[in-house]
Structure 1
Amino acid sequence: MKKWISVCLAGVIALSAGRFAFAVESPDTTAPYLLSGAPTFDLSISQFRERFNIDNPSLPLSEFRSISSSRDKLNLTRAASKINENLYASTALERGTLKIKSMQITWLPIPGPEQKSAKAKALEYMTAVLRLFTPTLTKAQSQQKLQKLLAQGKGKHYFTTSEGAIRYVVADNGEKGLTFAVEPIKLALSENLEGGE
């Protein structure tokens, strides 16, 4: 009986997390990684996990498990990894290659005395993801960048900013959860370069 209750509880938690793990798209905005021809990082999910776990031994990521969704298009696979009861890593992958289109960390706040330490752990994971995709930043620079991004996105259902070939996304749903995502963007040649000037 205890096992059944645990399985049901895990299912409910996963469903509630799933709402926020992919909440970086608002009702009136289609997330860029869902668009046809959206770019991918040159990194598969297994390569990402291996590199992440080597670089961050105190922040383990378990294997990502596929999540089926009726709203997914034929070229997209979603997967998630439960870090703990209130923290999840999720990803949108190019079907077939399993290359990353979006990497997301979602924190679901828990009321009570453990909330501060739980949020600190979530911020560590978010910083580590940011640093993996922006390796030129030191740990301190990554923490500062994350704090700046979270401040800019505070209270916004969908906030995005781009830097070079990377898009950072923050979805702040207050007491319902916080998602931080890193996504690749296509770089286009400027008109001057294309025109030969």
Structure 2
Amino acid sequence: MNNLLRTGLIAVSILISGLCHADPQEQSAQMPMAAYLLTGAPTFDMTIGQFREKYNASNPSLPLSEYRAIDNRSDKSNLTRAASKINENLYSSTALERGTGKIKTLQITWLPVQGPEQKTAYDKALAYMAAFVRYFEPMLNEEQSLNRVTTLLAEGKGQRYVAKNEGALRYVVADNGEKGITLAIEPLKLVLAPDNQTK
């Protein structure tokens, strides 16, 4: 793996760590622990390989390369982390349940660029984010999924962590300014309402 890719994957690893390595007192002062790190957090019923195969078949103009494992020996979360480089400033990353390889969280991170390339790079990031949304909400068309993404990013602008539930999905936006903006998609554990609440 070349040094540039390794550096990018390390940056993504830091972004997706969910503060799981932070001091607990610092953690509570900064923001809540990422939901996918909690005991019993649900998984999508697919591996990252299954996701990538179906995603690439549906989005040939926005392809994903193979996800590569991120070596993080200090990670005590019992998750396997992996990332896929899309280009120099755009990455997808994931945290997988050890043993099954099922997806706990699927993330896409844009590392902002300055200068004349910024708008093109940002538009590409939005296109990928919208494609991820359409994968998990196939009833949305291209315009609707783009609107969903721009609304989520607007709500999360300048915030370290903002979560919004949509049906069986949780969308999380983490805006770390120049260090990157991440959109995560995670499954929600659906709980049936008791009989006395279903009137």
The two structures share one fold, judged by TM-score above 0.5: yes
- CA distance in 1: counterparts of 2:70 and 2:196, whole angstroms: 41
> Whole-Å Cα distance in 1 between the matches of residues 76 and 138 of structure 2?
31
Identity of aligned residues (%): 55
What does residue 177 of structure 2 align with? 174
Q: C-alpha distance in 2, partners of 1:136/1:54?
A: 17
Query: What pairs with 1:129-148 in structure 2 (closer than 5 Å)?
Result: 129-148=132-151
Within 5 A, what are the aligned runs for 1:1-197? 7-22=2-17, 27-28=27-28, 29-69=32-72, 70-74=74-78, 76-191=79-194, 193=195
- How far did residue 98 of structure 1 move? 1.2
Superposition deviation, residue 52 in structure 1: 0.8
Partner amino acid, structure 1, of 2:13: G
SS in 1 for 2:2: helix
* Residue identity matched to 1:8: N
Confirm or deny: 8 A CA contact 2:5 2:85 kept in the other structure: no
Q: Measure the CA separation in 2 of the matches of 1:106 and 1:175.
A: 12
Unaligned 5+ segments in structure 1 are: 1-5
Alignment-derived partner of residue 3 in structure 1: none
Deviation at 1:37, TM superposition (A): 1.0
C-alpha contact 1:21 1:106 (8 A) present in aligned 2: no
For residues 111-165 of structure 1, give each alpha carbon's deviation from its aligned partner in whole angstroms, at most 9, with x where no partner exists: 1211110111111111111110111111111111111111111110000011111
Root mean square deviation of aligned Cα: 2.1
CA distance in structure 2 between the aligned counterparts of 1:177 and 1:91, rounded to whole angstroms: 16
* Unaligned segments of structure 2, at least 5 residues: none
1:24 positional shift: 8.0
Q: Partners in 2 of 1:169 and 1:196 — Cα distance?
A: 29
CA–CA distance in 2 between the matches of 1:24 and 1:171? 12
CA distance in 2, matches of 1:59, 1:178: 19
**SS of equivalent residue, structure 1 residue 102:** strand
> Are the structure 2 counterparts of residues 64 and 57 from structure 1 closer, same or farther at C-alpha, using a change threshold of 3 Å?
same
1:52 and 1:99 map into 2 onto residues whose CA distance is: 16
Please tell me the residue identity of whatever aligns with 2:5: A
* Structure 1 residue 78: Cα displacement: 0.8
1: CA distance, partners of 2:197 / 2:18 = 40
Q: So what's the TM-score if we normalise by structure 1?
A: 0.88
User: How far did residue 13 of structure 1 move?
Assistant: 2.9
The amino acid across from 2:14 in the alignment is R
Please state whether the residue corresponding to 1:162 is helix, strand or coil: strand
The answer to which structure, 1 or 2, has the higher relative contact order (CA under 8 A, 6+ apart) is 1
Residues 80, 72 of structure 1: CA spacing in aligned structure 2 closer, same or farther, 3 A cutoff?
farther
Q: Secondary structure at the match of 1:104?
A: strand
- Give the whole-Å Cα distance in 1 for the aligned partners of 2:161 and 2:19: 6
Number of positions where the alignment pairs a residue of Structure 1 with one of Structure 2: 190
